[in-house]
């Protein structure tokens, strides 16, 4: 049996999205900027996809800018605001558990003279609103906090952060919503979010496509210049097949949201209950089982190194991750697990299980049985 439990790294593309992408590549292959019929047909597809993305997060179609993915969206949001606001303020606030596509941009901005406050998080991965309130000043131009953490599934208090942000005229609120879309409710209007990043391949759409929501009247400086596509905010011929597939994935995520989120939570709890019942001495990392995002479970198996267990599971057709796929080829303990104060032995034995549309209860039960066998064997072997 093959069991893919690394859906926070990437997801299998839904057949509906694949069919739409093939149709666009084969038939509607025109350039949306062309002024002939083929261009018009392509533009229509572009507009339909934009509408589907906007519907998923409750915004106007004109507030969606297509990018190459979550990383580019985060780069555009942070650098675009920093560049356009630098004459008015130089202070940015974020947290210590953000994705590298946020943290590495912030590092670069610090080298250019910006001052960044990195908020601490508690053992569940949540920021402290009091600390945030104390950090905001008249120089603060940007607050960037992720909605759902990609390693431990913490859901940050986005609505409360937006309320605090609104008290300061200059501050723009950016949310990395890559792991949240389709899994928890996102309503950028109600939550008063100014910028929100999305990625196609995290919601069973294709890789290489994403979007940035930019609230009307929020000014941002482009980081890619050229022909002026996407309202001059992201130049370059649009990746129409990717956009079409992304649009279908957003449409399906919207239509199936409630049932899918509930099913993911059931799978997550089934796996955790099975592990707890069958394997002694384990540790749940991050929020309590019912508090975090429905699709992410992070558990440590003390006495077994993460990478060793990952490959032992791989032998049985089970695919998991020791942490974020964007950083787990690098040496050292995850910055997220460090930030929640996890002891080194627990951090080095952590496994992230992340669930998606195609997972079944049968797969979860198989995973529990293989984990029981492999953890028991490896603990005996590694303690010799």
Give the active site residues: 326
Q: Could you identify the residue written with the tokens 């005996």? A: 380
Give the residues across from 198 on adjacent strands. 211
Cα angle at 6 between 12 and 278, to 5 degrees?
A: 130
Rounded to whole angstroms, how far apart are CA atoms 149 and 158?
Answer: 12
Cα angle at 189 between 185 and 191, to 5 degrees?
A: 60
Torsion angles phi and psi, residue 151, rounded to 5: -105, -40
Interstrand relation of 91-95 and 115-119 (parallel, antiparallel or unpaired)? parallel
Helix axes 240-255, 257-278, angle to 10 degrees: 80
Cβ(367)–Cβ(3) under 8 Å?
A: yes
- Number of neighbours of residue 130 by Cβ within 10 angstroms: 8
- Number of neighbours of residue 44 by Cβ within 10 angstroms: 12
Rounded to whole angstroms, how far apart are CA atoms 198 and 361?
Answer: 28
**Cα dihedral sign, 129-185-92-326:** positive
Rounded to whole angstroms, how far apart are CA atoms 239 and 260?
Answer: 28
Q: Could you identify the residue written with the tokens 């699709």? A: 295
Name the 3-class secondary structure at 292.
Answer: coil
| Alpha-helix runs per DSSP H in 180-305 | 240-255, 257-278
- What would the two tokens of residue 248 be? 């279908």
Give the residues across from 355 on adjacent strands. none
DSSP letter at 63?
G
| R_g of the chain computed on alpha carbons | 21
Name the strand (E) or helix (H) holding 46: helix 37-57
Cβ(332)–Cβ(238) under 8 Å?
A: no
């Amino acid at each position: 049996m093959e069991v893919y439990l690394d859906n926070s790294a990437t997801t299998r593309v839904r057949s509906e999205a694949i069919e739409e992408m093939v149709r666009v590549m084969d038939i509607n292959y025109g350039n949306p900027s062309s002024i002939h019929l083929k261009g018009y047909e392509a533009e229509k597809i572009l507009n339909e996809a934009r509408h589907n993305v906007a519907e998923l997060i409750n915004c106007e179609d004109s507030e969606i800018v297509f990018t190459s993915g979550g990383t580019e969206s985060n780069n555009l949001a942070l650098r675009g605001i920093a560049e356009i606001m630098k004459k008015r303020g130089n202070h940015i606030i974020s947290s210590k558990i953000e994705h590298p596509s946020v943290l590495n941009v912030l590092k670069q901005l610090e080298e250019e003279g910006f001052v960044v406050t990195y908020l601490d998080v508690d053992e569940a991965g949540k920021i402290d609103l009091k600390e945030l309130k104390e950090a905001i000043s008249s120089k603060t131009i940007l607050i960037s906090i992720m909605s759902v953490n990609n390693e431990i599934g913490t859901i940050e208090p986005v609505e409360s952060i937006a309320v605090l942000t609104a008290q300061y005229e200059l501050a723009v609120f950016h949310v990395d919503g890559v792991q949240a879309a389709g899994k928890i409710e996102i309503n950028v209007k109600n939550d008063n979010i100014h910028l929100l990043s999305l990625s196609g391949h995290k919601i069973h759409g294709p890789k290489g496509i994403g979007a940035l929501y930019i609230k009307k009247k929020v000014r941002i400086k482009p980081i890619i210049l050229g022909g002026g596509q996407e309202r001059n905010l992201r130049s370059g011929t649009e990746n129409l097949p990717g956009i079409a597939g992304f649009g279908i994935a957003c449409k399906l995520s919207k239509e199936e949201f409630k049932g899918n989120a509930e099913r993911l939570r059931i799978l997550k709890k089934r796996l955790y209950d099975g592990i707890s019942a069958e394997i002694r001495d384990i540790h749940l990392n991050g929020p309590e089982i019912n508090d975090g995002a429905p699709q992410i479970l992070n558990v440590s198996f003390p006495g077994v190194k993460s990478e060793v267990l990952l490959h032992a599971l791989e032998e049985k057709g089970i695919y998991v991750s020791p942490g974020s796929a964007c950083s787990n080829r690098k040496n050292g303990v995850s910055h997220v697990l460090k930030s929640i104060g996890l002891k080194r032995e627990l951090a080095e034995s952590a496994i992230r299980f992340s669930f998606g549309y195609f997972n079944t209860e049968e797969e979860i039960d198989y995973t529990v049985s293989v984990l029981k066998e492999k953890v028991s064997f490896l603990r005996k072997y590694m303690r010799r």
